[in-house]
Structure 1
Amino acid sequence: MKMSDMITYTIVFLKLSDHRYLHDHITRVSIDEDKTYLLINSIQDDNLREEEEVKRVTAGLLVDAALTTHQYVPLHNENEQREKEKQLVVLAGDWYSSLYYSELSKLGDVGLVRVFSRSIQKTNNAKIRLHERGWKDLEELEELITTMEATLIQNVGIYFNQRSIADFAGHFLTYRRLLDLIEHAGQDKEPFGSARLSPLFAIEPTDRDREDYIQEMISNLEVVAANVKDRLLASYQDNEAALSTQLKKRFMELVNK
C-alpha cells in the first residue's frame, strides 16, 4: 500500500463523518493509522473492486471511531457544561455507528454488518468487565484487554480469510495499549476518570489506597506486557510474509520502545 492511500482514507473518513455542530463542541476522533493499515491488510478479496474495499475499510474505521468516542464520555459531571459535553460525546458515537451501517447497507454486505455488530457487542462487554475489575487473574486481564483492543480487526480478518493478520493484530494492538497504559498510569496526576486510561482506571478504589492500587496495576500490566511481547515476536515471525511494509515498520517501532 502506498502512503497516498492513507491520505485517501483520511479524506474519505473525514468527509463522511463531518458534522459541524458536533465537531464545534467536542474533539473530532482522528484516524488510528495502525488500525487503518490492519484493516487494509485484512480486507483483501479478489472479488472486490478497489472502491468496494475502500468503502469496507472506511466502514471499519467508523466502527472504531464509534467505540473510541464512547470511551471518552466524561465519568464525572460537575456542572451543566460537562453534562452537555457528555450528551454530545454519546451522540457523536451514535453518529459514527449510524454512518458505518449506512455505508454497508448501500453495499448490501449483510455478512460484514453482522461481523461489525458482534465485534461491537464483544468489545463493549470486555470494557464493562474491565470497568468493574471483573478479572480473576492476569491471564484473564490480558484476554479482556485483547478483546477490547483487537476484536474488530480480528473478526474482519477472519471474515476475509486473512487469519495471519487477525493473529498478528491481537498481539500487536494489545501490546501497544499495554505500553500506553503503563506509561500514563504512572505519569498522570489524575489517572482515575482519564479517558486515555479508561476503563482500567475508570473509578478510584474505595477499599484501598489509591497509590497502592496504581502501583499494583502498573506491576501487573508490566508482567502481562512482557508475556504479550513474547507472543507478538513469535506472531511476527510466523506471519511476516502477510504483513505490509507499513505494518512491518510499525512493528519494529513498537517492539523497540
Structure 2
Amino acid sequence: MNHQELLVEEMITALTTKQTTQLARHVDFPSINREQISWLIDVAQNETLAWQSLVKGVHYAQVALLLHERVGETKRGSKERQLLVLAGDLFSSYFFEELASLPQTALVTLGRTVQHVNEAKCALHEENYDSTEEYVLLWLKAEFGLVQGLAAISGRDWLTEDGQRLIRQRAQSLQSSAQQLLLSHLEQMAVA
C-alpha cells in the first residue's frame, strides 16, 4: 500500500466513526467515496496547515448539504424528515468542530465557501440563470465549490486528475449541451 492509499484509508476510518451514531440506524448516510477522499487529500495537503481537519471539515460539510437536500424528498412532519434534518445538523456540527482547529483565515474562507455553494444550489433549484454557460458555472460551484474553497486555503490546484475524473462522472447526469460545455470548460481550466 503506497503512502497516498494509506492516508486515504486512515481518513476513511476516521470519517466512518462519525457515522456510527444512533442516527445511523435510521438514516442512510451517503457512502464515503475513496476517490473523493483521495482528491480532497491531494488538494488539502500543506505543510503549514492541519490538512486533516480541512479534509474532514469539507467532507462533513458535503454530507450535511447532501442530507439537507434529501429533506425535500420526504413527507412533511414525518419521522424520516426529522431524522434527516437532525443528521444534517449533526454533520454541520462536525464541520464546525473541525473549523475550530483551523486558523481564522481558513475558517472565514470555508464559511464563505459554504455560503457560495448554498447560493449556487438555490439558484439552480429556482432555475435562476440565463444561459447554459451560467447553469454550468452554477453547477460547478454547487457540486465542487467546497473543493475550490479548500484549494484557496491550501494554495494547491483543485483540478487534479482525480478531480477531473470525478467531475466527468458526475457530469453524466447533465443534459447533453450542458455536459459538452462543462467538458470544454474543464479542458480549458486544466490547460491554464
TM-score bin (small chain): 0.7 to 0.9
Quickly say closer, same or farther: Cα 1:110–1:169, change in 2 above 3 A: farther
Please tell me whether residue 59 in structure 1 is matched to residue 54 in structure 2.
Answer: no
Cα distance in 1 between the residues matched to 2:163 and 2:15: 24
Aligned to 1:130: 124
Q: 1:142 to 1:172 in 2, by over 3 A?
A: farther
Paired residues for 1:29-178 under 5 Å: 29-48=30-49, 52-77=50-75, 83-105=78-100, 107-162=101-156, 164-166=157-159, 174-178=167-171
Aligned runs of 1:227-246 on 2, under 5 Å? 227-236=181-190, 238=191
Residues 17 and 99, structure 1, Cα contact 8 Å, conserved in 2: no
Q: 1:8 to 1:170 in 2, by over 3 A?
A: closer
Return the alpha-carbon distance in structure 2 between the equivalents of residues 23 and 75 of structure 1: 19
Q: Determine which structure has more spread, i.e. the larger CA radius of gyration.
A: 1
Q: Is the 2:53–2:102 Cα contact (8 Å) retained in structure 1?
A: no
Measured against aligned partners, the alpha-carbon deviations of 1:139-197 in whole angstroms (never above 9, x if no partner) come to 111111011011110111022111x3258788655433220x24xxxxxxxxxxxxxxx
TM-score (norm 2): 0.86
**In 1: Cα distance, 2:58 partner to 2:184 partner:** 28
Provide structure 1 residue ranges, at least 5 long, that are not aligned to the other structure: 183-220, 240-257
Q: Report the Cα distance in structure 2 between the residues aligned to 1:111 and 1:166, rounded to whole angstroms.
A: 22
Distance 2:36 2:134 in 1: 23
Across the two proteins, how many residue pairs are aligned to each other? Answer: 190
Offset from partner CA, 1:207-257 (integer Å, 9 cap, x none): xxxxxxxxxxxxxx2112112223323444x38xxxxxxxxxxxxxxxxxx
CA 1:159/1:15 → structure 2, altered by over 3 Å: closer, same or farther? same
Distance in 2 (alpha carbons) for counterparts of 1:97 and 1:225: 31
Larger deviation, residues 33-42 vs 90-99: 33-42
TM, length-normalised to structure 1: 0.66
Aligned with residue 16 of structure 2, among 11, 14, 17? 14
Q: Distance in 2 between matches of 1:222 and 1:166?
A: 22
d(CA) in 1 for partners of 2:152, 2:112: 13
Alignment partner of 1:45: what SS?
A: coil
RMSD after superposition: 2.5
% identical aligned pairs: 23
In the superposition, relative to structure 1, how do residues 144 and 30 fare at CA in structure 2: closer, same or farther (>3 Å)?
same
Write the distance in 2 (CA, Å) between the matches of 1:128 and 1:169. Answer: 27
Secondary structure of 2:158's partner?
helix
Structure 2 residues not aligned, in runs of 5+: none
Contact 2:12 2:37 in 1 (8 A): no
Structure 2 CA distance for aligned equivalents of residues 75 and 226 of structure 1? 29
What's the CA shift for 1:113?
1.9
- CA gap of 1:160–1:108, structure 2 versus 1, over 3 A, is closer
CA shift, 1:55, in A, is: 2.6
